[in-house]
Amino acid sequence: MDIASGIQEPFDLIRLSLSERVFVKLRGDRELSGVLHAYDGHMNLILSDVEETIMIVDLPEGQTEGTGAVSMAKRKSEMLFVRGDGVILVAPGGR
Amino acid sequence: MLIFSVFKTLTDQQVTVELKNDLSITGVLKSVDQFLNIRLDNIQVLDAARHPHMMAVKNCFIRGSVVRYVQLPAEHVDTQLLEDATRREAANPSKR
Amino acid sequence: MSEAETTPPPPAAAPAPTVPTGSPTEFLKGVVGKRVIVRLTSGVDYRGILSCLDGYMNIALEQTEEHANGRVTNRYGDAFIRGNNVLYISAAEAL
């Protein structure tokens, strides 16, 4: 129990982020920043004003992990439903 | 349940469903169920040249579990209503 | 005979809940509010203070550092981690 922030269960953290910008880390090297409007127990999300960043690692043959060049693709979306099973992490305050 | 309701209010609107295999399908949302399975009519596949097998397909059923995102028509989403409904559902965990 | 009736019941397993007994549940109760390392199945580590967790192992962390291939790759004031991604939770300080 966190008395200072009033968080008793993990979902409280998400509830306190409603109408705030959040950072979401997804499976498949994707990240989102958007304003949170809805969520449910599966961590299905509805976000607006979303910027998605997709990390694409170009690993040339024979190169070890972490040495390949990382390129990033960005996309914007006005209103987005995100299926919860792809969510890894949600952090208040986007970036 | 909440998200299911949101999708129900968006029936007959145009949405873009992005699948986990990177296929993006735009179409008119005809119906949705509690698993968030989706039926789309009048579909168009993004980058159709890369997905020639989809060319003749006019409507489809999408299993909810293969969906990554759905792009929604922002003008038909009342964000204040969504936030209130989300808080109400969070206060009543039985509905999760 | 009468002795059995008047003898107070033996104290419960642990007088203070902070003393871990060895069961997973006791461990998790014991690490709330402590520094922990959460490892995800992807191999990424999150180090921070465990605010709380629920039955799905959804986790709320404070002062979180994300560690990937030996480097700090992100910092979050608060972070919600979806439980299905969790491989383990490790205590990073004495209980």
CB contact under 8 A, A8 and C81: no
Q: Which residues contact B48 (CB under 8 A, 6 or more apart)?
A: B54, B55
Domain that holds residue B38: 2-91
Chains C and A touch (3+ CB pairs under 8 A): yes
- The beta-strand segments (E) located in chain A are 21-26, 30-39, 45-58, 69-82, 87-92
Percent share of chain B, pLDDT over 70: 96
Domain that holds residue C63: 25-91
CATH value of A10-92 in 2.30.30.100, 3.30.360.10, 2.120.10.30, 3.40.220.10: 2.30.30.100
Q: How far apart are CA B36 and CA B1, in angstroms?
A: 10
Is pLDDT of C18 > 70?
no
| Number of structural domains found in chain B | 1
List, for residues C37-93, the tens digit of each pLDDT value. 999 999 999 999 999 999 999 999 999 999 999 999 999 999 999 999 999 999 998
Find chain A residues with C-beta within 8 A of C77's C-beta: 91-93
Domain assignments of chain A as residue spans, ordered by start: 10-92
- pTM assigned to the model: 0.86
Q: What is the CATH number of the domain that holds B22?
A: 2.30.30.100
Q: How far apart are CA B43 and CA B54, in angstroms?
A: 9
List, for residues B62-75, the tens digit of each pLDDT value. 999 999 999 999 99
**Residue of B36, B70, B83 with shortest CB distance to A18:** B83
User: Is C60 part of a structural domain of the chain?
Assistant: yes
Chains B and C touch (3+ CB pairs under 8 A): no
DSSP state of C23: S
User: Is B67 part of a structural domain of the chain?
Assistant: yes
Q: What is the CATH number of the domain that holds C71?
A: 2.30.30.100
Is pLDDT of C3 > 50?
no
- ipTM summary value: 0.93
CB contact under 8 A, C59 and A10: yes
User: Is C49 part of a structural domain of the chain?
Assistant: yes
Q: What is the pLDDT of residue C63?
A: 96
* CA atoms lying within 13 Å on the CB side of residue A79: 16
Of the candidates B58, C8, C83, which has an alpha carbon nearest to the alpha carbon of residue A9?
A: C83
| Number of structural domains found in chain C | 1
**Residue of B1, B72, B83 with shortest CB distance to A81:** B72
**Strand B67-71 relative to strand A69-82, pairing:** antiparallel
User: Is B54 part of a structural domain of the chain?
Assistant: yes
List, for residues C67-79, the tens digit of each pLDDT value. 999 999 999 999 9
